[in-house]
A and B are shown apart, each in its own frame.
Chain A
Amino acid sequence: MAVEKKHFTCVICPIGCEIDVELQGSDVVSMKGEKCAKGREFVLQELEEPMRILTTTIRIKGAKWAMLPVRTDEPIPKRSLFRVIEELANIELQAPVKMSDVIIRDIAGTGANIVATRNMKRDKKDKFA
């Protein structure tokens, strides 16, 4: 089987090691450029399933602002980012919301929860409320 080459920039710390990997199928034949074990772990995770924290916003009514900032409470597979975003696009919340409130459990089957990242009080000034 042919050897496949892949390149990664590690984002675990600010150094940002440039890491070259040679693969045969799914087996790592060689890895070069990582300055610590965390870099190796990072690359193995990227090869298996890249994971990311998602931060975004959800529409909210009855608050001072139009959007409530939210995040996933743990990293989710990179390939599911847009699926999550699409699901959140259909949601509209009602103020008040407290920081760390769980807005949606197990979003899009990722196992992660969507949580609020700030307090948003009820505000009578919102003419749309």
Chain B
Amino acid sequence: MEADVTVIGSGPAGLVAALQADRSGARNVLLLEREEELGGILKQCIHNGFGLEQFKKDYTGPEYAERLIEEIENTNVRYLLNTMVIALSPDRTITAVNPEQGEFQIKSKSVVLAMGCRERSRGSINIPGTRPAGIYTAGVAQRFVNIDGYLPGKEIVILGSGDIGLIMARRLALEGAQVKGVYEIMNYPGGLKRNIVQCLNDFNIPLYLSHTVTEIRGKERVEGVVISRVDEKMQPIGGSEQFVACDTLLLSVGLIPENELSKQAGIELSPITKGPITTETMETGVPGIFSCGNVSTVFDLVDYVAQTGMTAGRNAARFASAAWKKEKNSVEVIPGENVRVLFPQRYSFEDDLIFFIRCARPIEGPVRIDISPLEIHFKKLYARPNEMIRVKVPQDKLRDITGSIEVDITER
């Protein structure tokens, strides 16, 4: 099988990338999805708040997905469902498998990685205790409730205050479960402020900052968890333990980009974002392979995911059409003062530079974001680690850069 542009994954990033590749003139766009329908995780995110920027509408996840799928159906984009990519080589040969064709290969002029991310689980945070039933990641519980129609438990404790955990606190409360509390190891919440208000406060669900689960109890089924306060180094404080009875523990403790295929293709990953190192065109270190959305870095908003998808799709189409300068000069983009995450990691002088920035510690007051050595800065009212900051530097301002570009966030 041959393709001009092949997109791996049909969540928001992949759908937008495929659409944009088609609109940018790629003739033979192929979209691969391992599940039985398009849309990815949007299908189980039944809450609203999607697409406020992109469509100026307050869609639910499924509505947002349906809108993009409808657009896909009106293009020449071909898609294969139940199709799992099992290998990717640096020369852009894809090995995939599905029930109709068995194992087969696709030779593609360019490839867009849009595999998204997966949830961190109990194993990645090492909670001591027994191994009973009743421990789920928040996203798995979300699927049980919203698609399969099962309530994972009646008395729920949620560890971690990421957005999915907050959304699930409300969802479970609405479905009649008792949500005993959300426990967050950091001294600030992980999720967006609007979710704290609408998901916890509205339902009188308490949020405990600087607390964590230090033991899980129960033999067949979870019977409860031991909660401890933590100090400023996030170490549990002896003597602060208290037992909270529950039958279910939900984990909302972070997401990790899913990059097994990227590693196979020899793509260099960033230790900070855990995703491919890319330029502003979303091209990875391997020519002709682009990446976008949560496989690149974990975003807070679907609008940001869609924006990277659009860039990746457009440039993948250009690469496939040979309207692409293969040997490109690029400079490094470096996170400076109070910057924990910075995306993209390189600049190749092809386009405007849109930064996605996550600060290291919260500043609840006016801040400035400096782009050096350019004498450009941006003013913001605050900087919070749970809200990515996005700023755009126009291409013509960047023309004379020779060394690296640094981004700093300071109080002003």
Contacts and interface: CB of A to CB of B under 8 A. Distances in A.
A99 B63 contact: yes
B147 A117 contact: no
Interface in B139-197: 145-149, 174-175, 192-194, 196-197
A39 to B, nearest CB: 13
A53 B48 contact: yes
Interface of B: 36-37, 43, 46-48, 58, 60, 62-63, 65-66, 145-149, 174-175, 192-194, 196-198, 201-202, 381-382, 387
Interface string A78-111: 1001100100000000000001000000000000
A116 B148 CA distance: 17
B193 A57 contact: no
Contact of A67 (B48, B147, B387): B147
A28 B46 CA distance: 36
A85 B174 CA distance: 7
B63 A67 contact: no
A107 to B, nearest CB: 14
A101 to B, nearest CB: 12
B198 A67 contact: no
Interface in A6-36: 9, 11, 14-16, 35
A119 interface: yes
B46 A57 contact: yes
Contact of B65 (A14, A15, A78, A118): A118
B198 A52 contact: yes
B60 A55 contact: yes
Contacts of B58: 53
Contacts of A119: 66
B146 A57 contact: yes
A11 B194 contact: yes
B94 to A, nearest CB: 27
Given A14-B387, A53-B48, A118 B43 contact: yes
24 contacts: A11-B193, A11-B197, A11-B198, A14-B192, A15-B381, A15-B382, A16-B193, A16-B194, A53-B48, A55-B47, A64-B36, A67-B145, A67-B149, A69-B146, A71-B46, A71-B48, A81-B174, A82-B174, A85-B174, A85-B175, A117-B60, A117-B62, A118-B43, A118-B63
Contacts of B381: 15, 35
A59 interface: yes
Given A59-B149, A65-B147, A66-B149, A14 B175 contact: no
A59 to B, nearest CB: 6
B394 to A, nearest CB: 24
Contacts of B63: 99, 117-118
Contact of B62 (A11, A16, A54, A118): A118
Contacts of B194: 11, 14, 16
Contacts of A69: 46, 60, 62, 146
A47 B192 CA distance: 23
Given A14-B192, A99-B66, A67 B197 contact: no
Nearest to A116: B62
A54 B48 CA distance: 9
Contact of B193 (A9, A59, A78): A9
A89 B146 CA distance: 13
Contacts of B196: 9
B92 to A, nearest CB: 33
Contact of A9 (B149, B175, B197): B197
A100 to B, nearest CB: 8
A94 B58 CA distance: 27
Nearest to A67: B149
A82 B170 CA distance: 12
Contacts of A85: 174-175
B62 A78 contact: no
Contact of B202 (A16, A52, A64, A66): A52
Contact of A57 (B66, B145, B197, B198): B145
Contact of A55 (B48, B192, B197): B48
A55 B66 contact: no
B46 A55 contact: yes
A50 B48 CA distance: 17
A118 B174 CA distance: 21
A59 B62 CA distance: 16
A42 B47 CA distance: 21
Contact of B46 (A14, A16, A35, A56): A56
A124 to B, nearest CB: 14
A62 B174 CA distance: 25
A50 B202 CA distance: 10
A112 to B, nearest CB: 13
A33 to B, nearest CB: 12
B193 A14 contact: yes
